[in-house]
Every structure is written in C-alpha cells, then in structure tokens.
Structure 1
Amino acid sequence: MTKRALILVEGHRGLGLPYVKTAQRLGLHPITLSADPTQYDYLLAEGIEAIRIDTDNLDALIHECARVSATYAISGITGFSGADDSACVTAAELCRHFDLPGPNPASIERCCDKFTQRELLAKAGVQIPAYRLAWNATDVERAASEIGLPVVLKPAVGSGSSGVQLCRNFDELDEHTAYLFGGKHIWRSLPRILVEEFVQGPQYGAEIMGNEVVGIAPADFGPPPHFVFHGVSFPAPLTDEEHKRIADLSLICLRALDLGWGPTNVEFRWTTRGPVVIEVNPRIPGTPTPQLVQLAYGIDLVAEHIKLIIGEEWDLRRRHSHTVAARFLVPDRDGILETINGDRAATVEGIVEVKLYAEPMRPIVRKGDYRDPIGHVIAVSPSFAQTETILQDAVDLIDWSIKPFPTASE
C-alpha cells in the first residue's frame, strides 16, 4: 500500500515539530519543502525528509510535488507563516492545483495584505483602527497628522510584529519611517507602510477552526514602543455577553474576508466602544498557543487542522476546562546571556513546562518582535488567579543574567 504524505511548505521554529510529530502519529509521512531546510533544527534531529527548493517558485513546487507523488500518495499540503505568510498562500495554491482540501488562495492573500484586509473589514462595517496607506515618508507624516499621534507603523505585509512600532511623537515617527524605508527592514513585497490609530484597551485573541470559535485568550504586551507578547492565557475572564460579542464579531470578520476554512486568529482590543479588530491572521498562532488550547480544553488544534487538510473528520468538542497561562521570558537589555537555568522553576506544583530557547553565552540582540523571547513557562490550575500566582513563583526561580557586550577598549 502506498504511504500517505503530508507536504509542508517551509517549516516553523515553534510549530514545525508538533506538525511533523502529529502527522507521523496520524500515519502520515511528513515532507518539508524549504528554500533552506538547515534553518529548522528539528528536521535533522528527527530525521524528517526535507527537500531544498525555491518555495517562491510555484511551478517548481508543482513539479516537485508531482515527483513526490510517484512514490507517495499526497494526502494534504499546508504551509507555515514566515516573514510575510507567503507559504500559506503558496500551499493553498498547491492544494487547488492538485485538487486537495484547502482554503481559497485568493482569500488568504487578501487577508495577508493588511491594507486590503482593512478595506474589506471596513466595508463590512467592522470596527477597526483609523488607517492610511503610505508609500513614502511624506505619506507617513501626512497620515499621522490626519489620524493624530500616537500612531502605529507596520509593514503592509508581514507577521510576528516584525517592523511594527508605536510612534508617540514626530521624532519617533521619522526615525521608524527611516528604518522601514531605509533598507534595514527586509521586505518580501513592495515597501508600503500602514499607519494606524493606536487603539488602547485589553488585548484578546480568538482562536477559530473553520467557523467555530474554539477559545478566546487575553494577551499581555511588554513596554512600548514595541508589541512583544509577554503572556497569554485561556480562557479569557469575560462575561457571557462580552464573549458573545467577540465570537460574533470574529465570524463577521471571516465572512468579510471569505475565510472559514481551517484555522484563523482574530486579534482585538476591548475599548470604550467595544471590541475593535486589530488584525485577522489566517493560521494557527505560534507556540505555545496550540499547547495552551489543548491544556485548557483538550482540543488538539494541530491534529484537527491536519485532519481537515487530509479530508478526515475533525472533532472540536471540549474534553475538560482548565485555566492555563504562559509567561514569556523577554530580555530587558542586549548583551551576552551568561546563565539561564529553569530547573527549580520546573519543580513548582502546577507548572506544566519550562522551555528555554537560548543557551548560555549566546548574544542577545532584541528586535522588538517575535524573536525576542528566550523561553516560556506554562502553568495550569482551576482558577485564573491561582495560575498567575504559580507562574510568578516559577518565573522568580529562573536564574538568568545578561552581561553587557564588551566595549572596543576591552
């Protein structure tokens, strides 16, 4: 009998390993197509088949998938988000070419362009921040003046808060505009900046599979001007009415963007005017969100997504209800990571995981985005307050220190 394969377009430093492990558990042979497979450590460590190929070249990918199909029965294709979510669009195009289950590639592409997404949401009457599209520094300054400071500058295409910054005055605005347009930011598309109203209020994220809201989580950011996640938890401490408003608005977003196949993450700010949609992402968020959902509700988002990809029946029923939270370890300075040890934190009752991404003597250079955390801690308990106490007790027991980079005279 021909073995079934799951094709993964590119990998992911957090979600990659859970996907290949889950695929294997479901009887699939995972194959990663990547422009540089060596950037994903788990491929070599787990002996996962990987093929080096230009993942921006759709014709080359079609040819390679056709070649793979001579050996394996390709059961499904999916892609991971990268700097611009292009792999998600490419995977959807491959699914359509090979008549496999998958989302509408045009819908995914429109959603990944933040300006186009804003236009579609606004047309549907969804509350969103005031926004303008800027092609140059003059456009940025004009947009900021029209919207009113402070504003958020973000690349029109991108993910993981890369290049996203709050600008509280015109000096910060000019500085970050120069950074984005001056060649330091890596663009995977035409250089365009979205200038947005800074909407203030608690942040929430709705995790959706298909047309079902699986869970809603509050999220905490570190200090401005960047938007680096410091913590996330399930479930959100919302009233039934607040939960319903967010869930209903999430489904309106799906209809406005022609989504509703597979996973979607909708980010909100709760304001005096109710929930305001900050962003819609047509994918599962990075780790540890899927793990938190499984701990909170017993729903394995990765497994259910793969079942959908390969055309099998999925199951989003909740098995239990726990309060679970993650705290990220985010450096507050650049330098050399002298020590880091989480052994004592792992012994705290209620701690599920202490995971460190960095080893001692590694240089720490903060980027102000998803790359900044050097680890996370996960706790679970019957209540939100107890979970937060457990987390704090564990984080206080993590030994880590950063020493300044040596100066030229040293």
Structure 2
Amino acid sequence: MNYLILNRSALAIRPYREWMGDGHRLLLITDARALSADDEIRGGQLASFDATVPLVDYHDSVLVEREALRLHAEFGFDEIIALSEFDLLRAARLRDLLGLRGQNEESAIAFRDKLVMKDLLREAGVPLAPYAPAADATSLIRFTQEHGFPIVVKPRRGGGSMGIEILHDEDELWNYATRTTQLGTDDGAPLLVEAHVEHELFHIDGLVVDGHIQLIWPSTQGTTTCLGMLDGHMLHSTMLDADDPRLDDLRKLTTTALETLPTPTTTIFHAEIFGTPDGLVFNEIASRMAGGRIEEQIRLGFGLHLPKLYIRALAGHELPRIPSEPARIGGLALFPPRPGLLRAVPGECRVPGISSFTVSVAAGTRLGTAHASVDNFASALAVGSTRAEVEQAISRLRTWVEAETVIEPETEPQTATGGTTA
C-alpha cells in the first residue's frame, strides 16, 4: 500500500515507518519545523520515507495540495494519513477529489465546524448549551436578548481554545465586535456564540477501529479550565477512577455523539463534556488526538499509545488487546507563560508522583501570553493508583513550581515568546 502522510508534529515523536512497518510506500509532506535541526538526525528522519516534501509555509499554503497531487500522479497513493486538527479538512478534500477511502469532507466538516456539529447533535437530542451562529454584531445582540450574559464567542473551526472569549456585558460585547472586523462585513464572521455555563470540564479520549469503539475513557480538569490557561493559570487533568459514578454517563453521551455524527470507520476521538449543576452538557468532539500531553496521560494509564494504534490499524496490523480500564491513573499539568522576563526556572523535580517534568524555555527568555490552551513554559505528567493520589501530587508540584519560578514583569512592551505548544 502507498500512503501520503500530512504532518505537523515533530518526527521524533511520530516514527511513521516504525509504526507502519515495511512493505508500504510512505510519502511525506511535512512542516519543515517538524524536522530535527541536527543534519544527521534529519537525514535519518527523511530516509525512512520514499519521497519527502518539507514546506516552510505549511500551515495555510496551497503548496500542500499541489505537492499532494504531484505525488499522487507519480506514485498513486492509496490512503492519506493526517493526525493534526488543521489537516483534517484538506486531507478529506483530497480524498474526495482522488476517490480515496477514509474520512470524507462531510465527515471532516461535522467534526471541525462546531455549528454543523451542534446542529446534528441537537437533532439527536444530545444536551447542549444554547448556541447560534454569530456572523454579525446583531446576531450577538439578539442572542443576549434571549439568553443574557455571559456569552462565549468562538471560531466555528478553531482549535486549542484560540480565539475564544467570554463576554460579560454589553460594553465587552461592543469592544469585541469593534476588534472583530469581520462582524461588520457582508460576508460575516465564521463564529459561534453560546450561553456560558458554570462547569467542570471532562474530556473523553479513545479509539474507534472498524466501526467499533476499542478504547474510551474520561478525565477531568477539575477546577482548572482551558481559558484559564490563556490568563496564565495552570491547567491540570486527571483520569477518572474505574469506580467513579460519572464514568458510565460520560461514556454513554460520548458514544451517542459518535453514533450521531458521520464518524470515520477508524479514528481517534477527543470529546469535551461540561459537568453542570443541572447535569451533563455536551460541548464538542474532534476526530483526532488531543494536544497538551493527553496522549502521554492515556499512555501512562493504559500502557497504550493512541496515535501508534491508529496508524497501525490503518496499515492493517492486528492490534494488541486493549484493556477496558486503566491499570493506573495518569495526570498532567501545564504551566502557561505570563508576560515578563523569565529570571529563574525550576530545576530537577523530586515531587513524589510526578513521572516527568519538562521546562521548555531557559532563564533569560522573555515570555508572552499563551495563545492556545496548550501553550506552556513547563509541563508535567503524574501517575498514581487513584485520582485523588494524582491530584495531590499535582498540587504539590504546583506549589513547588510557583516557588521556584521567577517572572519579572516588563516595564516596556517587548517581543516575547509564549513558550511551547504541545
């Protein structure tokens, strides 16, 4: 079989040839930044593919499509593999154009476009917060007249919490509308507005193979939020215990969403559900692996690597037995940057229960604000026998990181870095 791979992640953590094995022709179009800066390592990475096209302007360049069509004319690939949120639609459109199997454009849009997704879920009776398209300022006003404040405005096809804002009153609404010039155009803005609900956020991650759910497990972010990351507050996540009373309802609601949407026959999924005082409210679901070290969190718990399983399933390999519940509880913590000069960073981590701690920037770096919910200057993985045990370890870690980190506020605006995007 011949496979075209569209790639954005560091190839050091995406060894496609190793995962897929020999006997396949692998063609790669990749963001050039995914390659090692070391010449020898980079050469080895590229040598594992039968043809490679590194692109400096990968994210929004039509060179991806042009090179894909050129490679297809030369090699005639049978499938397209795309792991990134922002490659799902372009891969689906190429499949439709070339008559290839896999996720088509209808399916990709249902998982990428939050308005399309919510319309389909609402028709199936899935509980949702009130929502509406927000193409113009009058749509926002009309929504607040019906549902009041606060409201949440978000891109219909966004990711990583980028571009999401909570508006608490009319002054904030008009300030937002003034900054968002598309709201005043004839074409309108590709936005969605929702009623804000107080919640505990659960994320449910798993794998579907040949139309059957092979793995599905919820985690909780507790009192931390993705939007809180954008304001400089730590985010953590912990897998639920096997005896958690919320487990079955979270899995059932996620399964209903997968059955409602045009879910690919084989896919990874990442769902988000709000736990509110009035019950569970579905937020959204994606047909890809989550970011922010969640794949490592799941690996700690189950001993399985979801992207590897997914790739091997696409390549026709028999998968190992997937347990119905984790052997251990995995957790993670992300520490977002705050604007200022990073004077001191934590050293070696000796906090019990923390299995991995990484600082991604050096002292002396000027930090900016986080732009996405996975941006961080430090991150950690934790593991234990129960959720309470893992959350205690993360709490001790937070105290230690905050004591060891010194960020000196800037007196004048500086060009800054936001840290690492996981």
The TM-score, its normalising length taken from structure 2, stands at 0.80
Aligned to 1:381: 384
For 1:251, the equivalent position in structure 2 comes to 255
Read off the aligned partner of 2:334 and give its amino acid letter.
F
Question: Identity of aligned pairs, percent?
Answer: 18
Q: 2:273 is paired with a residue of what secondary structure?
A: strand
Pick from 358, 361, 364 the counterpart of residue 361 of structure 1. Answer: 364
CA distance in 1, matches of 2:134, 2:384: 46
* One-letter amino acid matched to 1:91: A
Between the aligned partners of 1:247 and 1:224, the Cα distance in structure 2 is 21
- State which of 6, 11, 25 in structure 2 corresponds to 1:9: 6
C-alpha displacement of 1:109: 1.7
Deviates more, 1:115-124 or 1:217-226: 217-226
Indicate the SS of the match to 1:389: helix
Indicate which of 396, 406, 422 corresponds to 1:393.
396
Is the CA contact (8 Å cut-off) linking 1:113 and 1:157 kept in structure 2? yes
Q: Displacement of 1:200 after TM fit?
A: 1.8
In the alignment, which residue of structure 2 is the partner of 1:51? Answer: 53
Is the contact made by 2:241 and 2:386 (CA closer than 8 Å) also made in structure 1?
A: no
Structure 1 residue matching 2:405: 3-state secondary structure: strand
Matches of 2:226 and 2:171 in 1, distance apart? 15
Secondary structure of the equivalent of 2:180?
helix
Structural RMSD (CA)? 3.1
Q: How far off its partner does 1:394 sit?
A: 3.2
Find the counterpart in structure 2 of residue 372 from structure 1: 375
Matched length: 385
The aligned runs of 1:394-409 (5 Å cut-off) are: 394-398=397-401, 399-407=404-412
Unpaired runs of at least 5, structure 1: 184-188
In structure 2, do the counterparts of structure 1 residues 247 and 341 end up closer, same or farther at CA, with 3 Å as the change threshold? same
SS at match of 1:341: coil
Distance 1:23 1:288, change over 3 A: farther
2:18 to 15, 24, 29: 24
* 2:177 is equivalent to residue 205 of structure 1: no
Structure 2 gaps of 5+ residues are 47-51, 414-422
Q: Distance in 2 between matches of 1:302 and 1:61?
A: 25
Contact 1:10 1:79 in 2 (8 A): yes
SS at match of 1:397: helix
1:222 offset after TM fit, Å?
4.6
Q: Give the corresponding residue for 2:419.
A: none
Contact 1:202 1:218 in 2 (8 A): yes
Q: Quote the residue 2:172 is aligned against.
A: 172
User: For residues 355-385 of structure 1, what are the alpha-carbon distances to aligned partners after superposition, in whole Å with 9 as ceiling and x for unaligned?
Assistant: 2222222222114522532121111111222
- Distance in 1, matches of 2:377 and 2:345, equals 10
Distance 1:315 1:104 in 2: 28
Q: Quick one: distance in 2 between partners of 1:309 and 1:327? A: 31
**How far has the Cα of 1:146 moved from its partner?**
1.7
TM-score, length-normalised on structure 1? 0.83
Quote how far apart the aligned CAs of 1:201 are. Answer: 2.0
- Superimposed CA distance per residue, residues 131-162 of structure 1 (whole angstroms, 9 cap, x where no aligned partner): 11111222222222222111111011111100
Identify the residue that residue 138 of structure 1 maps to in structure 2: 138
Instruction: Give the corresponding residue for 1:342.
Output: 347
Please tell me whether the aligned partners of residues 167 and 173 of structure 1 are also in contact (alpha carbons under 8 angstroms).
yes
Counterpart of 1:219? 221
